[in-house]
C-alpha cells in the first residue's frame, strides 16, 4: 500500500491509496514552514500514524518547489523556504525506514490525472492548478516530463506580458501574475480603483478569489469581468501550450477552478482563437477529476511506479 503526501504552504494532506488508485483513508495537518526540524518531525508523525494501522510499501511526497532528478535535492521552494537544498527523500527515509520519493506537487497532480483522472488513456497532457499561484506539470509521450534535471513543466513563470505586473519571483509579466488566485484579487483591485459601483466594495477584507466568485454568482458585473479577464489570460496561455506541445488535454485544477465556470468558458474561447486550428482540434480543456486530491494521489502513485 502506498502513502501520498501533498505539502501545501499551510496544510499537509496525506492519504493511503489502494490497488485501484482509490483513497482509502486521508487526513490533514498544518505545515511547519519556517524550520526544517519541525517540518521533518511533523511529516514523520503523520507517516508513523498511518504505519500503525496498515503496512506501507513506500511514501510519495509532492512538494511546492523544484526538485533535482539527479541529486534528489530540492533546489528551491519559495513557499517553504526551509526545504531549499534539502534531500527530503533521504531525510524522511532515515526517519521512517521506508522508500521515499519526492517530486514537484503539480507534477504529482499531472501524474494522477494521467493514471486515473481526467486524462486516463491519453499520451500528452498538461495539468494546471490555479491556486494562490499557478502550478503545472506535463505528461508527454505517456510519461511525466521532467527535463534535464527534473525542473521541467514549470509554466506559471512564463512571461506573457513583458509590461505586465511584477511577480513574486522577481520578474515581470509571468502568467501567474494574472492567472491565479492572487492575480484575480489584483485584477479586482485594479478595477475597483476606477471607482466602480460593485458589491466587491462592500466585502470585508481581505478580498479573496472566492469572495469575488460569490459576487460573480450573484450577478455582480465587475466580479464577472474579473473572471472573464482572467479567463482571457488563461486562454492565451493555454493556446501557447497547445501550439508548442500539440496536447490532447489541458486539465485544470486548483481552488480557483472549483469556482471556475465564469473563467473556463472564456479561456476555451480565447484558446480557440489563438491556437492553430489543427492543434486546437486535438485538445480538450477540462476540469480536474481528482481535485483537491490530485497531488496526494499522484505522490502515492509516483512512490509505487518510480521504483
Whose Cβ is closer to its own copies: residue 48's or residue 276's?
276
- Cβ atoms of 158 and 174 within 8 Å: the answer is yes
DSSP labels, 216-251: HHTT-HHHHHHHHHHHHHHHHHHHHHHHHH--SEEE
Query: Per-residue string for binding with its own copies, 47-86, x by CB under 8 A?
Result: -------------------x-x------xx----------
Q: Is the dihedral of CA 209, 215, 219, 225 positive or negative?
A: negative
Q: Does 236 bind its own copies (CB under 8 A)?
A: yes
Distance, CA of 252 to CA of 236 (rounded, Å): 14
| Interaction of residue 245 with its own copies, rule CB under 8 A | yes
Minimum CB distance to its own copies, residue 302 (Å) = 17
The verdict on 121 binding its own copies (CB under 8 A) reads no
Check binding of 149 to its own copies (CB under 8 A).
Answer: yes
Q: 264 vs 5, 77, 133, 224, 279, CA distance in Å?
A: 28, 29, 17, 12, 19
Q: Which stretch binds its own copies (CB under 8 A): 6-14, 30-38, 195-203, 246-254?
A: 246-254
Does residue number 123 form part of the binding site for its own copies (CB under 8 A)? Answer: yes
**Taking contact as CB under 8 A, which single stretch among the options 109-117, 187-195, 203-211, 237-245 is the one that binds its own copies?**
237-245
Q: Which residue has 501550450 as its cell numbers?
A: 241
Selected binder of its own copies within 79, 87, 158, 287 (CB under 8 A): 158
Q: How many helices (H) and strands (E) does the chain have?
A: 9, 12
Q: Is position 21 an interface residue for its own copies (rule: CB under 8 A)?
A: no
DSSP assigned state of 262: H
Q: Does the footprint of its own copies cover residue 283 (CB under 8 A)?
A: yes
Give the C-alpha separation, 37 to 76, whole Å: 17
Q: What is the binding site for its own copies (CB under 8 A)?
A: 66, 68, 75-76, 123-124, 138, 140-141, 143, 145-155, 157-163, 171, 236, 239-240, 243-248, 273-274, 276, 278-279, 282-283
Amino acid at each position: 500500500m502506498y502513502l501520498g503526501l501533498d505539502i501545501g504552504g499551510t496544510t499537509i494532506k496525506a492519504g493511503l491509496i489502494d490497488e485501484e488508485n482509490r483513497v482509502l483513508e486521508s487526513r490533514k495537518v498544518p505545515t511547519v514552514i519556517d524550520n526544517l526540524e519541525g517540518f521533518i518531525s511533523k511529516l514523520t508523525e503523520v507517516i508513523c500514524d498511518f504505519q500503525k494501522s496498515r503496512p506501507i510499501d513506500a511514501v510519495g511526497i509532492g512538494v511546492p518547489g523544484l526538485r533535482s532528478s539527479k541529486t534528489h535535492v530540492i533546489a528551491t521552494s519559495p513557499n517553504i523556504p526551509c526545504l531549499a537544498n534539502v534531500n527530503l527523500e533521504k531525510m524522511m527515509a532515515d526517519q521512517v525506514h521506508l522508500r521515499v520519493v519526492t517530486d514537484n506537487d503539480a507534477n504529482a497532480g499531472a501524474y494522477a490525472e494521467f493514471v486515473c483522472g481526467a486524462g486516463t488513456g491519453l499520451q500528452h497532457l498538461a495539468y494546471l492548478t490555479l491556486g494562490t499561484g499557478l502550478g503545472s506539470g506535463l505528461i508527454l509521450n505517456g510519461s511525466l516530463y521532467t527535463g534535464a534535471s527534473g525542473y521541467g513543466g514549470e509554466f506559471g513563470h512564463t512571461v506573457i506580458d513583458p509590461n505586465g505586473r511584477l511577480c513574486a519571483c522577481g520578474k515581470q509579466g509571468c502568467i501567474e501574475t494574472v492567472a491565479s488566485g492572487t492575480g484575480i484579487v489584483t485584477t479586482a483591485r485594479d478595477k475597483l480603483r476606477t471607482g466602480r459601483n460593485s458589491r466587491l466594495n462592500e466585502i470585508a477584507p481581505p478580498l479573496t478569489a472566492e469572495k469575488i466568485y460569490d459576487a460573480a454568482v450573484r450577478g455582480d458585473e465587475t466580479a464577472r469581468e474579473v473572471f472573464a479577464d482572467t479567463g482571457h489570460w488563461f486562454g492565451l496561455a493555454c493556446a501557447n501550450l497547445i501550439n508548442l506541445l500539440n496536447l490532447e488535454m489541458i486539465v485544470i485544477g486548483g481552488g480557483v477552478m472549483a469556482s471556475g465556470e465564469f473563467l473556463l468558458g472564456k479561456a476555451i474561447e480565447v484558446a480557440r482563437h489563438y491556437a492553430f486550428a489543427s492543434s486546437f482540434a486535438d485538445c480538450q480543456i477540462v476540469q480536474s477529476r481528482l481535485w483537491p486530491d490530485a497531488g496526494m494521489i499522484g505522490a502515492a502513485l509516483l512512490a509505487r511506479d518510480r521504483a
